[in-house]
Chain A
């Protein structure tokens, strides 16, 4: 099972790497959304600094949302998904592999970039570390939840906008905790509670959400 998991991850990562522009598009989108904050609010460092945790987190959530839009669509259209579903491995494992590959190639770059963008909005020192840590724990949860939406909207009219309606409400708790951790760090108070809760969410989501994804995929494949 682990070997098929690994093979699927390698296949998906190499597929994404072959189409590098997808990664670049998502990263550019992430940076652009953050650029919109100073442009719309004004360049005063104090204002930007208070908005920074939420700003980076909102940008990350939106980037995750748009990148997940087509997570299963191509495999579904060319029949790969059906083959994977017919294989003896549980579909949930395959779903987890796809999400993991997606996160490694599209989520991780955002985490790596986030300190630089946080710095540009006026965060400094330990806050940047907390920002990156919170994203490291939080974006996999976003990817998992978003994958449910991507699976549910397979083969449905107006998939993209519908997916945002379905998934953004579910993103809320992660966003609250993630941005909360950075805000706590800005006031030098205990941010570890937020990070622990994020970690707990991740620990709960990794085994459970793939089952929901598999269920949604089966509905689409029926």
Chain B
């Protein structure tokens, strides 16, 4: 259904106007100071995470009753867009953390919420998502490794090929087969605190872009108490439909839009700067057309993002095909258009400021990061789902 709609506990006391921007600006400033190094060395942005802890931004979606900022979906979108303008890795790390927090807020047991959420709000718990698993081809809704129930404890033994921020997370939300599952779709989501697990990191992280997301392979082994199951045993699907999926697509798309908007902004500032005004022909029809194209792409994504955020905030049941289609359309469109906008800007400004490292436009960094967007839950897979969903909505009604 919908576990993140306006009026739910997650949006009880939204942060005061301007307060959120102040916090995200502080994190963005720290990100900016370190992004060249974290990108070059493919290391996690520890300093930016520390600033998220200090500012309380990690608790954006934690209800005020648990000491958090009490923000909602719109606040998440705004924060991710702002952070993305500076560093897409930082924005995506934040988006995925908030997605985990929202799952605990909406589906966690009261005992788990009381134990964990004040820790998140206090900046002590950064949460990572463990949904990837070898051999399942990126399918979110199936799992291979099963929870083993012995007494009140659930044993976790799980390998995950890609865990963003896994080496630095204080806790993990892990998908596992429910104990005694009879089919691969009986997936449970469990929370494990880092000290409840032995965490073994394997392999290296040397990607094209998103280098600071430090998405490593982890082997997790340990055990957690029964009340750490988030949602019903075997009920991960409803967590995905009502909160996980929508927040992923909104948070990611906002991060990508921010990254492309930051790139366009830096290009425009460079073109308008006093030292360049004399050197660049701002009357060039080719340049103007390319700027127009980039801006149009971003306005398209922004409109769809705003609209989808409203749909998610207001709809009672997010499982309806036309709502799923809008969410998937947002993700696919944002991935394609944000990448294409930055690619077009590289054509517009040329080799030195478009292709080389060290330009204040940082276009080559943005392009490498945005190349991951279509792969981060593959657009190809979403198109297949959308084709089926389209057949379920023959009247073609829109939200």
A binds B: no
Interface residues of chain A, those whose CB is within 8 Å of chain B, are: none
Chain B positions within 8 Å of A, measured between CB atoms, are none
